[in-house]
């Protein structure tokens, strides 16, 4: 995992991994972007966005699941995603 995250090693006592999924999408061309990380009321809030392909762009005609994995400083509280995952797509 360290190699995929482009770091030499991961100290799990100091770091953790956050994975954001854009859920099932009908074509390629979608991507996930983390806009901000915020600590508020004892929670780590991951502000993220699902980017859609531009209208009329050429995309792969296959179901995809855009996902982003990031390495962050370890946080001992709850992790909340904003926006939350749609019902049934957690």
7-17 mean pLDDT:
96
Q: Residue 89 above 80 pLDDT?
A: no
pLDDT in tens, 68-86: 999 999 999 999 999 987 6
Of the candidates 18, 32, 16, 33, the one whose C-alpha atom is nearest the C-alpha of residue 70 is 18
% of the chain exceeding 70 in pLDDT: 94
Q: Is the dihedral of CA 34, 70, 7, 42 positive or negative?
A: positive
pLDDT of residue 85: 73
- Please say whether the beta carbons of 74 and 16 come within 8 A: yes
Average pLDDT in the chain: 93
> 8 pLDDT band (50/70/90 cuts)?
very high
Element at 69 (helix H, strand E) = strand 67-73
């Amino acid at each position: 995992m360290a190699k995929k995250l482009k770091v030499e090693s991961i100290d799990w006592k100091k770091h953790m991994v956050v994975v954001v999924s854009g859920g099932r999408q009908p074509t390629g061309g979608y991507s996930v972007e983390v806009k901000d990380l915020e600590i508020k009321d004892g929670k780590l809030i991951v502000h993220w966005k699902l980017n859609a392909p531009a209208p009329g762009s050429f995309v792969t005609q296959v179901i995809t699941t855009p996902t982003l994995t990031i390495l962050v400083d370890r946080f001992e509280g709850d992790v909340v995603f904003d926006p939350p995952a749609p019902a049934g797509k957690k």
